Chains A and B, each alone.
Chain A
Amino acid sequence: MKNKDIILKVENISKQYRLGLVGTGTISHDLNRWWSKIRGKEDPYLRVGETNDRSSKGDSEYIWALKEINFEVQRGEVLGIIGKNGAGKSTLLKILSKVTGPTTGNIKTKGRIASLLEVGTGFHGEMTGRENIYLNGAILGMTKKEIAFKIDEIIEFSGCERYIDTPVKRYSSGMTVRLAFAVAAFLEPEILVIDEVLAVGDAEFQKKAIGKMQDISRGEGRTVLFVSHNMAAVKNLCTRAIVLEKGSSTFEGDVDACIEYYISNNTNKETNLSYLSYNEDKILQKIEINNKLIASGKDLKIRFQLNLKAINSTNIHLGVYNFNDEKILHLSSEYFNKGYISETSEILNCEIEKNPLTQGLYYVNVGVVSDKIEVERVKKCLVFEVLNSDFFNCGIILKPSTLKAKALAEYKWY
């Protein structure tokens, strides 16, 4: 083992919440609690409580939003926290950023923690952009001097120079978010906690934001805890990750392994071999794939059964996505004359002779375009799994380094 510089240590963190309305009953519960405390007994409501599963109905009024979470973070590490809605991610971040206290357990830290749970907190509409930068910066823990030192950079990064002395209530929502993110991006705590901030702003600004995040974590060696649903962003930024499920941490490790674990556990594992329309007026009546398990490099065939009443000059667009929602292939019929839906054949096939997909789960979206207008769209109509294989027919199945790529290609070395 190497010398580890552990900057944050989470030990046995649990958090209990009371369900339902806080109203009738709380005084009696409080008195009950107080009474058992006086007699030196354990809190009667801490014993009950079930795991945190929002879909199943439980009997108890109390649930554990987090149960016995343990992990350590090293200095300079970017830790991703992945999990479904309600898995306890935000609760964990709230405890980390001291917004709320844990029910049991300890968190020990060697650095200041600052959080970007949601940007733009504390903005006051009546104050100008510049005044708000100072206020927001101070709320996030900066001193006036620090802000004054960085204010030009912050304004430049936000791209709101022209409006900086205008009250924020006159800003567009996008501008407000830009300004808020700019303040947060120039925070300099030892540990930065980020929750879903990348889902804001336009594409250009998102790119800028991700770039800044990468600078913070890589260039400046800051420790970052990052929570997001955007697997691509997690993969991009994080080195290690933990997976939360129903309030407990179920997997911890390398970011790729985590994402894979998360995806394989949280998507309908059932592959979907065919799609059937229940509406006879739809153009797409039936879509089928030749095999639910396909090895890389093998034949992939998708068969469409169409409604012949369909109009002429209609194209079918087929998108193959991985479970990070990244589009890997786009197979359009418009480049093939035969692909036009003819009035004679109701069957149409799309075939890839040697599929270039790497191991993993994929899904297919299909769109029907007529005269440049999309007239029909079916999402996730097919779900299939690609298995690792001997793609190059050389007796070696693909190695992890190759599998990191999103697609394969046939090539030669000579």
Chain B
Amino acid sequence: MSTKNNDWLYTISPKQKLIHLNFSEIWRYRDLLFLFVKRDVITQYKQTILGPLWYFIQPLFTGIIFTLIFNNLAAIPTGNGIPPFLFNLAGITSWNYFSTCLTGTSNTFTANQGIFGKVYFPRVITPLSVVFSNLLKFGIQLLVFVCFYLYFVFFTTKASNASPQFVIVFLPLLILFMGFFGLGIGMIISSMTTKYRDLTFLVGFGVQLLMYGSAVMYPLSYFKEKVPEYSWLVEYNPMTIIIELFRYMTLGIGDFSIFKILYVGIAIVLIFSLGLIIFNKTEKTFIDTV
């Protein structure tokens, strides 16, 4: 007599639920997440002379160039007498986090096919690790922003009108929005590129184009004033809302409305869920089509 014991630990089968996210499994692999983040951080600037200093240099120089071109040359006003450099730095810092999350996760499958093809672990760990390791870079860039902020406030009179708003306590939530917005889009793109590589071409210049449509180097109000017929394009871009919110929280300028916060929150939840669904659908068989 054979006693059949039917309490299987798990079953591998072709059928899958719409969202098959095994949180306990992801939790079990949390060390892997940590080690991936550590790997990304320590290997990125190996064999460079300046090392992590590059984290400072990138936003600094972009800020200077932006100020020269957009404020000094094109004379875009920042509003409320905020120093243009500080204004640009705020935009760049938040934009950078979003865009590095997006580009870093958008090639998840193609860049990791070697390892994905050989060993199983929850695939979501890989894009998540990108979001977390970029968080460190974001932290450093935020520090640069804070340093210049303090400099402008205490050593010049230029930033006398800048004042952090009370809602700054929600800054962590806003950062979460940036990261998960980038992650959501990145997951969608990475899933699509396993079969159709066309999207990889789009990512490079698409991100750059999107930057111009996200109010990074101009205030939304100025855009509305100058190009009112297309302003809805910029206005309802979730990234515009996020960047405007960031500037509102830190500098006290920009657009702030509960409606838009709700809108952006819902949009990000939707995009992120869509990303998760597509990512989950892809991860099971992508190795056959990649």
Contacts and interface: CB of A to CB of B under 8 A. Distances in A.
B257 interface: no
Contact of B35 (A17, A98, A134, A141): A134
Interface stretch (A109-117, A206-214, A221-229): A109-117
| Contact-residue size bin, chain A (C-beta under 8 Å from the other chain) | 35 or more
- Highest count of chain B CB atoms <10 Å: which of A26, A99, A111: A99
A135 B125 CA distance: 13
A100 B288 contact: yes
B287 A141 contact: no
Interface in B1-31: 1-3, 5, 7-14, 16, 28-29, 31
A46 B46 CA distance: 49
A1 B39 CA distance: 52
A141 B2 contact: no
Contacts of B284: 100-101
B289 interface: yes
Interface string B30-55: 01101110110011001100000000
Nearest to A13: B12
Contact of B119 (A107, A109, A121): A121
A200 interface: no
B81 interface: no
A258 B285 CA distance: 32
B118 interface: yes
A104 B285 CA distance: 13
A99 to B, nearest CB: 6
Given A121-B119, A135-B35, A141-B121, A107 B13 contact: yes
Nearest to B194: A22
A128 to B, nearest CB: 10
A99 B119 contact: yes
Contacts of B13: 101-102, 105-107
Given A101-B14, A117-B118, A26 B195 contact: yes
A102 B8 contact: no
A140 B14 contact: no
A122 B115 contact: yes
Given A111-B9, A121-B115, A127-B39, A99 B120 contact: yes
A16 B81 CA distance: 65
B289 A22 contact: yes
A217 to B, nearest CB: 20
B116 interface: yes
B37 to A, nearest CB: 11
Nearest to B16: A101
Contacts of B228: none
Interface in A125-140: 126-127, 131, 134-135, 138-140
Nearest to B120: A98
B8 A138 contact: no
Most chain A CB within a 10 A radius of its CB, from B3, B31, B195? B31
Given A1-B1, A104-B14, A111-B9, A138 B118 contact: no
A142 B119 CA distance: 13
A131 B13 CA distance: 35
A378 to B, nearest CB: 39
B12 A95 contact: yes
Contact of B2 (A3, A98, A122): A3
B43 A126 contact: yes
A299 interface: no
A9 B6 CA distance: 11
B285 A110 contact: no
A110 B4 CA distance: 12
Nearest to A110: B9
Contacts of A140: 119
B5 to A, nearest CB: 8
A94 B12 contact: no
Interface string A26-45: 11001000000000000000
Contacts of A96: 12
Contacts of B121: 139, 141
A138 B32 contact: yes
A34 to B, nearest CB: 13
A3 B114 CA distance: 41
Interface string A252-286: 00000000000000000000000000000000000
Nearest to A4: B2
Name the 9 nearest CB pairs between A and B, nearest first. Answer: A98-B120, A101-B284, A138-B32, A107-B12, A144-B31, A108-B8, A126-B43, A117-B118, A121-B118
Interface of B: 1-3, 5, 7-14, 16, 28-29, 31-32, 34-36, 38-39, 42-43, 46-47, 114-121, 195-196, 284-285, 287-289
24 contacts: A1-B1, A26-B196, A97-B120, A99-B117, A99-B119, A99-B120, A101-B13, A106-B11, A106-B13, A107-B12, A108-B10, A111-B9, A115-B120, A117-B119, A121-B115, A122-B115, A126-B43, A126-B47, A134-B35, A135-B36, A138-B29, A139-B121, A141-B121, A144-B35
Given A101-B13, A110-B8, 11 more contacts: A1-B1, A2-B2, A97-B119, A98-B120, A99-B116, A101-B12, A109-B12, A115-B118, A117-B119, A124-B43, A131-B42
